[in-house]
Amino acid sequence: MRRILLHLGLHKTGTTAAQSFLFENRELIWPHHALVLPYVTRKRGLSEAATRHSLYGTVGTLAEFGSQFHALLDSLDFGEKRGLMLSEENFAGLRPSRNAAVGYDAAPELAACIVDMVRNRLAGDPLDITVYLSLRQRGSWLRSLWAHDLQRTRLVLDFDAFRDKLADLPSPQQTAEAIRDRLPSVRVQTEWLEELRERPFGPGTPFAEFLNLPREKAAQLVAPTLSNPALPQAALQAMLDLNRSGLDEAALVRQKARIVEDARNSLTPQP
């Protein structure tokens, strides 16, 4: 039985820490599972193909994504019994704050395409497929999206206005339910970021549990070292003010980078 774990998002739900856990434990994972992380999917253009389909939703954009994903699977060494572990939040579609009109509407279709391609690539072998989605309570999720867009774009809305703009956006849990409805023959697992933070490997815990390694091997797993800690309100307000200013783009990027660096240094314990 080949065991497949497909972590398909969602954005701002601990995905950086989850992917850090997978990368840092890759030598323990590889004997059992081929591992696909964003540095592969983005280099090959797969992330862009998925987000493009979430924007345009045509037969052609879905076919393009499916073809590229199949090519990726063909490049992997599955051996005689190796499974697959994959983590890529953009496979749920474009970050919903950049695509508010439809949000994650394309996520079920993209998930179904991925599952179909895996079944096609490993046809003839019994498969145990799990689609995993990390979730977050709506209020903190929206605030994290707002903070991300403040840093990465020239967003000029304060949080209240941003939240109001996305009032009709389905919650992460509703997206998970839509994927579950689309894939009745596949296990769809969800975990809440708020609860994962209290568990041994944080957002990496579901992957550690999925691996189900022998005790001596499990003892070698390490917790993720990378995450995206929340920036303090003062830093977010400073970036909002900069976005509303007349600074040119180059100066804006430099000053926001300095704010982020100073804020993260203040969050790091000093020796």
Helix/strand/coil percentages in the chain, nearest 5: 55, 10, 35
> Which token pair is 208?
């550690």
Q: Is the pTM of this model over 0.75?
A: yes
The position carrying tokens 């903190």 is 140
pLDDT tens digits for range 140-178: 999 999 999 999 999 999 999 999 999 999 999 999 999
The pLDDT, as a whole number, for residue 229 is 86
Amino acid 156: pLDDT? 97
CATH topology of domain 2-138+170-224: Rossmann fold (3.40.50)
Give the span between the Cα atoms of 90 and 54, in whole angstroms.
10
Bridge-based pairing of strands 33-36 and 83-87 is parallel
**pLDDT for residue 265:** 83
Tens of pLDDT, residue by residue over 90-100, are: 999 999 999 98
Q: Which residues contact 188 (CB under 8 A, 6 or more apart)?
A: 130, 131, 132, 133, 176, 179, 180
Contacts of 258 (CB under 8 A, 6+ apart): none
Tell me what pLDDT residue 266 has: 78
Give residue 101's pLDDT: 85
Handedness of CA 198, 232, 98, 40 (dihedral sign): negative
pLDDT confidence of residue 226 = 86
Cβ atoms of 135 and 107 within 8 Å: the answer is no
51-57 — which CB contacts under 8 Å span 24+ positions?
51/90, 51/93, 51/94, 53/93, 53/106, 53/109, 53/110, 54/92, 54/93, 54/94, 54/99, 54/102, 54/104, 54/105, 54/106, 54/107, 54/110, 55/94, 55/99, 57/102, 57/105, 57/106, 57/109
DSSP category for residue 99? S
The pLDDT, as a whole number, for residue 271 is 42
Residue indicated by tokens 């991925």: 114
Nearest residue to 84 (alpha-carbon basis) of 51, 53, 114: 114
Paired with 191 in beta bridges are 134
DSSP-derived secondary structure for 127-165? EEEEEEEEE--HHHHHHHHHHHHHHHS-----HHHHHHH
Instruction: Report pLDDT for 227.
Output: 84
Task: Output the pLDDT for position 267.
Answer: 64
Residue 126, Cβ density class (10 Å: 0-12 exposed, 13-18 middle, ≥19 buried): exposed
Regions of the chain short of the pLDDT cut 70:
267-271
pLDDT given for residue 192 in this prediction: 97
- Tokens 């697959």 belong to 84
